[in-house]
Amino acid sequence: MSKFSIKEDMLNAARNGDNEAMNELIKAFAPTVEKIAASYIGRCPLTHSDLIQEGMIGLLSSVYGYSSSGGAEFTTYSVKCISNCIMSAVRNQLRNKHTPLNSYVLIDSIDLTDGQANPEVVVEMQERMNLLRERISTKLSTLEQDVLKLHIAGHNYNSIAEKLSVTEKTVDNALQRARKKLKEK
C-alpha cells in the first residue's frame, strides 16, 4: 500500500479545510485506491470510476474519523476505510432488489505501473473530491452537512443525535436528504 508515514499536522490541516494538504493525501493514496478498486473490476456492476469514487469517499471518511488514540497508524486505518467503503458499495449493488439495474458489467482498462497512479487518474480524483466538497457546501443545509460529517466520521445515529441535540429520526431524514441531493446531477 502506501510506503510513507502521514504526518499528524498534514492530517489536521486536511481536516480543517486545507485543500493543499487534502490534495497531498489524495495524491499519496491514489495508487492504493486504484489498486483496491481494480480488484473489484468485472466482479460487480460498478464501473471503475464508481469504485474509485467510493474509495475516495472512504479516504475522506478516514481523514475525518482517524484518531491516533486508537493504536493504528493512519495509513492502516485509511486502507481499511477505503476497502470497507468500496465493499459496502459493491454489496449494495449486488443486493437482489438491484438485479434488473445491474444486468450489465462495464470493464474499464486499468494501467497500474509499479503501484504508481497514472497522473491523469490523480488529477481526476482531485477534481472529483473538489466537486464533491463543493456540492456538499452548496447543496446541503447546515444540518445535513453536520450530520453527513459526523456520519462519515463513523458516528451512529444515536451519537449524532446527541451531539446535534436532535432526534434520531431527524438525523435519518437529514442523511437521506443529503444522499438524495448528492446523487442529483
Position with higher pLDDT, 185 vs 136: 136
Asked if pLDDT for residue 106 goes beyond 70, the answer is no
Confidence class of residue 161 from pLDDT cuts 50, 70 and 90? Answer: very high
Instruction: Give all domains of the chain, ordered by start, each with its CATH number.
Output: 8-138 (no CATH), 140-185 (1.10.10.10)
* pLDDT tens digit sequence for 115-128: 556 677 777 888 88
11-25, 111-125, 167-181: least confidently modelled range: 111-125
Q: What is the pTM of this model?
A: 0.53
C-alpha 58: how far from chain center: 3
As a whole number, the mean pLDDT across the chain is 80
* pLDDT tens digit sequence for 25-82: 888 899 999 999 988 887 777 788 888 988 999 998 888 888 878 788 888 889 999 9
- pLDDT cut 70: percent of the chain above it: 83
Residue with cell 452537512: 145
| C-alpha to C-alpha distance for 159 and 150, rounded to whole angstroms | 9
- Give the per-residue pLDDT at 167: 93
User: What dihedral angle (degrees, nearest 10) is formed by the CA atoms of 50, 53, 59, 64?
Assistant: -120
Instruction: Assess contact for 26 and 125: CB atoms under 8 A.
Output: yes
Range 161-165 average pLDDT: 92
- Give the per-residue pLDDT at 152: 82
Strand partners, 113: 116
